[in-house]
Structure 1
Amino acid sequence: MLDTHVLLHLANASILTGIMLSAMTRWGFFRYWWVLTKFAITMSQLYAAIFLLSPRLTALAEGVHGSDPALLVATVLMASAIAFQAWLSVAKPWKRTPWAEARLDVPLPPRWVIRLTMLAPVLDLLLAEAVFGHAAPLFTTLTAIGYPIWRGIRLAGHAGG
């Protein structure tokens, strides 16, 4: 229950906030190695949880398997990865990537974008529970894809005009 009704939605919200913080701040997606590293770790954790941990947790909950030492190892690895990501966020240890733009003055996003970023996971949870019966990160996906496109069009319009 915890895995499918709580953790799944929290994972989607975590990814959305990470993507949107990259999109809305001077750190960007590809400007710094530490941001790319955090993104790679997050995606690895997400897929490991979906394809490796979730089936084992389900089997354990249903009594199909007894205690599984792999679950303990996976839990320690996941917690260590989260701790490492927190350290990366504070220390920001590595330099900029070769793809980094020289410009670091990223305009602040409008308030409606920040509100939508906070509201999208809640809407997805309500949609999943009320309509689909399973996770459906529709608003999260639209927000994560839509904002960078909207921002790029807006910045191109300001540069051309």
Structure 2
Amino acid sequence: MAYFSKNTRKTIVFIHVLFSSLWIGAAISMVIIGFTKNPDTVSELLAYNFATKLIDDWIVIASASLSFLSGVLLCWKTAWGFFKHWWVAVKFILTFALLILGTFWLGKWTNESVYMVRDLGEEIYSNETYSTYQSSLNLWGTIQVGALVFLYFISVFKPWKRLIAEKK
């Protein structure tokens, strides 16, 4: 198999680290907004929800996707492989799981929250679905940030031995 040249590999690692950092920074920002919002009006509540939607639409989706794709390229075209090392396999599987969580749950709750505030106005304060979405975003957003921090940890410390022993 033809691997990337050293400079190409370094460039893709740079892209991977850059977009991973953007992803975690945006996720932290969304969690902070979720826990600290204290609106006085429905318009302010809409602004908070819309701000998290903008962060999700413009930063999280792009950075998570590019982080994953650059990681796939690194696995495919370097000696690390997809399943030669435990730390790479765990990163690959966990990142994929985070993309699924973000796409089908966190993103849905974020988008629906904006539409619900816009459509329900003052009724939003007594809407159980909205309250559930907000609680779920706070919980699962925090879990996602924790998982992203864990991915950083295993990227640096590579804590587990190889899955496949080296051929001698």
Q: What's the CA shift for 1:75? A: 1.3
Counterpart Cα distance in 1 of 2:167 and 2:90: 21
Q: Quote the residue 1:84 is aligned against.
A: 150
Q: What's the CA shift for 1:74? A: 1.0
2:157 aligned with 1:102: no
Counterpart Cα distance in 2 of 1:86 and 1:5: 22
Counterpart Cα distance in 2 of 1:86 and 1:61: 31
Q: Quote the residue 1:15 is aligned against.
A: 68
RMSD: 1.9
Counterpart Cα distance in 2 of 1:86 and 1:25: 19
2:125 aligned with 1:72: no
Q: Quote the residue 1:5 is aligned against.
A: 58
Counterpart Cα distance in 2 of 1:46 and 1:20: 17
How many matched pairs? 102
Bigger proportion of residues as helix: 2
Counterpart Cα distance in 2 of 1:48 and 1:74: 9
Gaps of 5+ in 1: 104-161
TM-score (norm 1): 0.57
Q: Quote the residue 1:124 is aligned against.
A: none
- What amino acid does structure 2 have at the position aligned with 1:60? S
- What amino acid does structure 2 have at the position aligned with 1:93? P
Query: Percentage identity across aligned positions?
Result: 31
Q: Quote the residue 1:107 is aligned against.
A: none
* 1:54-85 CA-partner distances (Å, limit 9, x unpaired): 11001212216246111111111111111101
* 1:116-158 CA-partner distances (Å, limit 9, x unpaired): xxxxxxxxxxxxxxxxxxxxxxxxxxxxxxxxxxxxxxxxxxx
- What amino acid does structure 1 have at the position aligned with 2:167? A
- What amino acid does structure 2 have at the position aligned with 1:102? K
Out of 25, 28, 53, which is 2:78 matched to? 25
- 5 Å-filtered alignment, 1:9-158, equals 9-62=62-115, 63=117, 65-66=130-131, 68-98=134-164, 102=167
Q: Quote the residue 1:155 is aligned against.
A: none
TM-score (norm 2): 0.55
- What amino acid does structure 1 have at the position aligned with 2:160? W
SS for the counterpart of 1:26 is coil
Counterpart Cα distance in 2 of 1:16 and 1:87: 20
Q: What's the CA shift for 1:101? A: 5.3
- What amino acid does structure 1 have at the position aligned with 2:68? I
Counterpart Cα distance in 2 of 1:87 and 1:101: 24
